[in-house]
């Protein structure tokens, strides 16, 4: 079998057009321009790339982008001070603090200081609790993007066995919550899972969010299963050139899967589009306006 390729890049481009339409309507009808603030502490080159492309796409859909780059020596008090200022700024509807933060900063404390209504990453404990209890929340962007691709491909996910590999707060756990919310039977696997290959072989849907290049081989995949590859791993070839690969071995998995996301061009672009979608949703909620359909779950 040759897997159907779930084209996240194309899906995200369509989603951004829908977002741009909503942004234009907010401006024309209400004189409101959604604003997204991104805070980057330190000089991590990969993070700088993400922050730049987030800023560019934010402006492309007609929203305001506020970038705050702070040195990696920034104190916790200064960072909390900036977040307090962004919380109070009516032009800012969404706040994202790029993770990981330098080691001397307490990321739980920092994330929980963001106004939950502006927490477009969905990482604040209040949003985590709302999602876990099936209430209206800000939903983390990467899992939201994965769910959109899965719903688009399958329609209903009810009754499917989903195996999520990885239990991080930013991907694995919220992904599992969303799949459960769509009535999948969900298994969360991690580094202490006893027999990972046997577990993955049972899955109708596999979501790999591990951070290990090409860890999942094709012979772990049940024929016809859907494979969502969240991993972003930069690898260096013998000739010194670098490339981006996921957590699954694409060629061997694509040979048995029914559908698969590529890296790059799969989940990554969906994450950024969902960040913009969450910012529009947050802006509508902040202004007491009906929120657009199709931008969240
Ligand atoms: N495409 C996108 O938009 C995004 C991509 N990413 C990428 O997704 C990947 C995961 O990110 P993130 O969740 O933040 O990573 P974390 O490092 O926070 O979590 C990794 C998880 O994988 C588990 N794990 C590690 N080794 C194994 C193993 N050998 N077998 C089974 N499970 C294992 C860990 O288990 P344990 O808990 O037991 O240690 C942990 O739960 C990374 O490549 C990251 O770059 C992340 C965010 C967005
Ligand atoms: N607070 C916070 N929120 C995040 O959502 C967050 C974060 N911190 N820290 C880092 C991770 C990682 N992440 C990615 C987003 C987009 C791509 C993406 O667009 N990738 C492109 C390729 C980009 C390239 O070529 O480097 C693709 O897969 O096609 C990747 C990774 C968001 N993260």
pLDDT 10s digits, 99-119 = 999 999 999 999 999 999 999
SS3 249: coil
Distance 211 CA to ligand 1 centre (A): 4
pLDDT of 67 above 90: yes
Summarize the confidence of residues 194-220 as an average pLDDT.
98
| Predicted pLDDT of residue 254 | 98
> Which position has the token pair 């909390």?
80
DSSP 182-248: TT-EEEEE-TT-TTHHHHHHT-SEEEE-S--TT-B-GGGSPTT-EEEE---EEEE-TTS-EEEE-SB
Q: How far apart are CA 289 and CA 49, in angstroms?
A: 33
Query: Does some domain include residue 293?
Result: no
Q: How far apart are CA 166 and CA 200, in angstroms?
A: 12
Distance 166 CA to ligand 1 centre (A): 5
Query: Does some domain include residue 130?
Result: no
Residues 166 and 243 both lie in one domain: yes
CATH number at residue 246: 3.40.50.720
Identify the active-site residue in 54, 160, 173, 222: 54
Q: How confident is the model at residue 232 (pLDDT cuts 50, 70, 90)?
A: very high
Q: b/e string for 13-28 if b means 16 or more Cβ within 10 A?
A: eebbebbbebbeebee
Which residues make Cβ contacts (< 8 Å) with residue 103, sequence separation at least 6?
Answer: none
Residues 96 and 172 both lie in one domain: no
User: Is 121 in the active site?
Assistant: yes
Residues 145 and 263 both lie in one domain: yes
Query: Does some domain include residue 135?
Result: no
Which residues make Cβ contacts (< 8 Å) with residue 226, sequence separation at least 6?
Answer: 6, 150, 153, 154, 204, 205, 206, 257, 258, 259, 260
Residues 99 and 178 both lie in one domain: no
Domains held by the chain: number: 2
E strand intervals along 35-160 = 35-41, 64-70, 94-97
**Residues in the ligand 2 pocket, defined by CB under 6 Å:** 49-50, 96-99, 121, 141-142, 232, 244, 263-265, 268-269, 271-272
User: What value of ipTM does the predicted structure carry?
Assistant: 0.99
Residues 186 and 261 both lie in one domain: yes
Range of the domain at 237: 141-269
Summarize the confidence of residues 74-89 as an average pLDDT.
98
Q: What is the pTM of this model?
A: 0.98
Q: Say how many Å lie between the first and final Cα of the chain, rounded.
A: 32
pLDDT of 50 above 90: no
Q: Find the length of the chain.
A: 297
Identify the active-site residue in 118, 119, 121, 222: 121
Q: Looking at 118, 152, 171, which one is the last position of a domain?
A: 118
Query: Does some domain include residue 3?
Result: no
211 within 8 A of 233, measured Cβ to Cβ? yes
CATH number at residue 47: 3.40.50.10860
User: Is 160 in the active site?
Assistant: no
Residues 93 and 195 both lie in one domain: no
Annotated binding residue 232: yes
Query: Does some domain include residue 280?
Result: no
**Residues in the ligand 1 pocket, defined by CB under 6 Å:** 142, 165-168, 170-172, 189-193, 196, 209-212, 230-233, 267-268, 271
């Amino acid at each position: 079998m040759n897997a159907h390729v779930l084209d996240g890049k194309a899906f995200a481009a369509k989603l951004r057009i829908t977002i741009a339409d909503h942004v234009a309507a907010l401006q024309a009808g209400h004189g409101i321009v959604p604003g997204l603030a991104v805070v980057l502490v330190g000089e991590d080159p990969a993070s700088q790339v993400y922050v730049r492309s987030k800023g560019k796409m934010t402006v492309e859909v007609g929203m305001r982008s506020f970038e705050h780059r702070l040195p990696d020596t920034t104190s916790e008090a200064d960072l909390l001070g900036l977040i307090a200022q962004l919380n109070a700024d009516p032009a800012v509807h969404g706040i994202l603090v790029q993770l990981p933060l330098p080691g001397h900063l307490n990321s739980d404390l920092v994330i929980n200081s963001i106004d939950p209504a502006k927490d477009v990453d969905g990482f604040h404990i209040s949003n985590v609790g709302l999602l876990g209890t099936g209430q209206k929340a800000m939903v983390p962007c990467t899992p939201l993007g994965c769910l959109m691709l899965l719903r688009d491909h399958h329609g209903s996910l009810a009754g499917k066995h989903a195996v999520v590999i990885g239990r991080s707060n930013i991907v694995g756990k919220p992904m599992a919550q969303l799949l459960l919310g769509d009535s999948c039977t969900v298994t969360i696997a991690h580094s202490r899972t006893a027999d990972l290959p046997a577990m993955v072989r049972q899955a109708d849907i596999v979501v790999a969010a591990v951070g290990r290049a090409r860890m999942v081989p094709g012979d772990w995949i049940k024929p016809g299963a859907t494979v969502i590859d969240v991993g972003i791993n930069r690898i260096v070839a013998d000739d010194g050139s670098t490339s981006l690969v996921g957590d699954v071995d694409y060629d061997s998995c694509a040979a048995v899967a029914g559908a698969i996301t590529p890296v790059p061009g799969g989940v990554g672009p969906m994450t950024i589009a969902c960040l913009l979608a969450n910012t529009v949703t947050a802006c509508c909620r902040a202004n007491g306006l009906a929120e657009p359909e199709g931008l969240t779950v």
